[in-house]
Amino acid sequence: MDLPRIFTIRESSHRIHNPLTPDKLATLGQALHLAPGTRVLDLASGSGEMLCTWARDLKCTGTGVDISTLFTEQARARAVELGVADRVEFVHGDASGHVADEPVDLAACVGATWIGNGVAGTAELLARSLRPGGMMLMGEPYWRVTPPDEKTALACHATSVADFLPLPDLIEQFGELGYDVVQMMLSDQQDWDRYTAAQWLNMRRWLDENPDDELAPEVRAELTAEPDRYTRYLREHLGWGVFALMQR
Nearest residue to ligand SAH, using CB?
Answer: 46
Report DSSP letters for 127-163, one per residue.
HTTEEEEEEEEEEEEEESS--SSHHHHHHTT-SSGGG
Residue 49 or 140: which CB sits closer to ligand SAH? 49
- Which of 9, 32, 34, 44 touches ligand SAH by CB under 6 A? 44
Residue 7 or 200: which CB sits closer to ligand SAH? 7
| 54 makes contact with ligand SAH (CB under 6 A) | no
Q: Coil, helix or strand for 171?
A: helix
Q: What is the DSSP letter of 210?
A: -
Q: Which of residues 186-225 bind ligand SAH (CB under 6 A)?
A: none
| 96 makes contact with ligand SAH (CB under 6 A) | yes
In what order do the strands lie in the sheet containing 39-43? Answer: 88-92, 61-66, 39-43, 104-110, 130-143, 238-247, 179-187
- Which of 111, 116, 141, 147 touches ligand SAH by CB under 6 A? 111
User: Closest by alpha carbon to 2, among 49, 63, 70?
Assistant: 70
- Which of 45, 196, 199, 202 touches ligand SAH by CB under 6 A? 45
Q: Specify the DSSP element, H or E, that contains 203.
A: helix 189-209
| 17 makes contact with ligand SAH (CB under 6 A) | yes
User: Which one of 80-88, 89-97, 125-133, 226-234 is the stretch in contact with ligand SAH (CB under 6 A)?
Assistant: 89-97
- Which of 9, 10, 18, 156 touches ligand SAH by CB under 6 A? 18
User: Closest by alpha carbon to 113, among 142, 133, 82?
Assistant: 142
| 69 makes contact with ligand SAH (CB under 6 A) | no
Residue 104 or 152: which CB sits closer to ligand SAH? 104
Rounded CA separation 162/114 (Å) = 14
Residue 34 or 112: which CB sits closer to ligand SAH? 112
Residue 8 Cα to chain centre, angstroms: 14
Q: Is the dihedral of CA 63, 67, 72, 73 positive or negative?
A: positive
Residue 97: exposure state from Cβ atoms within 10 A (0-12, 13-18, ≥19): exposed
Q: Which of residues 112-131 bind ligand SAH (CB under 6 A)?
A: 112, 115
| 228 makes contact with ligand SAH (CB under 6 A) | no
Q: Coil, helix or strand for 19?
A: coil
Shortest gap between Cβ of 7 and ligand SAH (angstroms)? 7
Q: Kindly list the residues in this chain that would bind ligand SAH in the complex (CB under 6 A).
A: 3, 16-18, 44-46, 49, 65-68, 71, 94-96, 110-112, 115
